[in-house]
Structure 1
Amino acid sequence: MPQLDPVASVFLGIDYGSRRVGLSHADELGFAFPLPAAVAESAEERFAQIGKEIARLKVTLLVLGYPLSVEGERTKRCDEVDVFAAELTRRFALPIEKVDEALTSQAADEFGRRKARSANERKQQARTGERDSRAAAVLLQDFLNSRGLGS
C-alpha cells in the first residue's frame, strides 16, 4: 500500500463497468462526491474521458473498486477489473489502490431511490452513469475514512 500524504494526494475514485465507468473525487475536507461518468461506446473514448479528469484534477492516486464477494473472495469480474487496472497503469502511470467495492452499488442505489422521484428518473440515472459515479463516491469515501482522511 502506498504511503499517502493527505495534503499532496489527489484521489480519483473509479467504479468500473464495461459500458460506464463511474468517477468520483474528494475535496480538501475529505468528502467524496460523484463526477460525470465516462460513458461512451468505445473503451478508447472512456479512457480519454478518464484521462481528462486525471489531468484536470492533477490526480496522484487512482482508487479502483474491486468486485470481491461478500465473503472477500475473488469473483469472475475480478479478472476483467485487473485488465482494466493494467490499462489504467499503462496509460496514466499512476499508482492504483484496489478497494473492496462490496455493497457500494447498493448504497448508491439507496441514495438514488431517495433522490429520484420515479422509475424513469432511476433509469435515466443508470443510463447516464450517475449511479456508477455515486458508487465510485461511496467507495472513495470508504477508502478515505479507512485511512483517517475522510470527514
Structure 2
Amino acid sequence: MPATPDSGTAPRTPVAAAPETLLGFDFGLKKIGVALGNTLTGQARPLCILRPVTRQQRFEQVAGLLQAWQPERVIVGLPLTLTGDEQPASAHSRRFARQLEGRFRVPVELVDERGSSLEAQHILGTHADDDAVAAAVILQRWLDRAC
C-alpha cells in the first residue's frame, strides 16, 4: 500500500515565531511618547518622551532608540475621530510611519489610538506627561491582538 503524506509521521508542531522586541510611538508634532514591549511577555511599558525641536532632532532621537533597542517592528498610533474617521493628525502619524519605514528599514504598523490618552491619564491619575504611557497603551493593544 502506498504511503500517504501523513502516514507514519507524527503530527507537526507549528514552529513558534521568534520573540520580537517592539517600540511603540504616540506621535505628536511637539512630543512623541515611546514605549517598549516584546512578544515573549506580551507586555508593553512606557519608555520615554521625546521633545525634539526640529525634524532633524526628531529623527536623531528616534535613530538612537532604534539603535539601542533594535526592534523587529515599530507600532505607531493612528489618531481617528470617535466615529473612526481620519482627521488632520492622522496624516501626520501616517507620514511619520512612512518615514520610519523609509529611513530605518523597519516594519511599521499603525494602530487605532482612540482613547489612549484618556486611558493613560486614568492610569497616571493626572494629565501631565502621559505620552509615554499612551504609547504603552497603543503598543499593548497591538500585543493583545497579536499574541
TM range (shorter): 0.7 to 0.9
Give, in whole Å, the separation in 1 of the partners of 2:17 and 2:26.
Answer: 22
Q: Distance in 1 between matches of 2:73 and 2:48?
A: 18
Q: Residues 49-98 of structure 1: CA distance to partner in whole angstroms, max 9, x if unpaired? A: 11111111111111000011222111121111122122212211111110
Q: Deviations over 1:1-50 (max 9, x none)?
A: xxxx7534221100000011110011441210011111121121122111
Q: Match for residue 7 of structure 1?
A: 18
Task: Quote the RMSD (CA, aligned, Å).
Answer: 1.6
Measured in 2, the distance between the counterparts of 1:135 and 1:66 equals 12
Aligned to 2:141: 142
> Percent sequence identity over matched residues?
27
List gaps (5 residues or longer) in structure 2: 1-15
What SS class does the counterpart of residue 25 from structure 1 fall into? strand
Aligned to 2:84, what secondary structure does the other structure show? Answer: coil
Change (3 A) 1:138 1:36: same
Matched, 1:30 2:42: yes
Aligned equivalent of 1:20, options 12, 31, 36: 31
In structure 1, what is the Cα distance between the partners aligned to 2:141 and 2:95?
Answer: 23
Aligned to 1:100: 112
Aligned residues: 131
Higher helix share: 1
Instruction: Show CA shifts across 1:108-130 (max 9, x none).
Output: 011121xx5xxxxx5xx43xxxx
User: 2:100 and 2:133 mapped to 1: Cα distance?
Assistant: 20
Residues 34-49 of structure 1 aligned to structure 2 (within 5 Å): 34-49=46-61
- 3-state SS of paired residue (1:102): coil
Structure 1 unaligned spans of 5+: 117-121
Q: What amino acid is aligned across from residue 131 of structure 2 in structure 1?
A: D
Q: Between Structure 1 and Structure 2, whose CA radius of gyration is higher?
A: 2
| Letter of the 2:56 counterpart | E
Deviates more, 1:103-112 or 1:77-86: 77-86
Instruction: Quote the residue 1:119 is aligned against.
Output: none
TM-score, structure 2 normalization: 0.81
- The structure-2 alpha-carbon separation of the partners of 1:66 and 1:6, relative to structure 1 and needing over 3 Å to count, comes to farther
Q: CA 1:65 to 1:6, structure 2 compared with 1: closer, same or farther past 3 Å?
A: farther
Paired residue secondary structure (1:29): coil
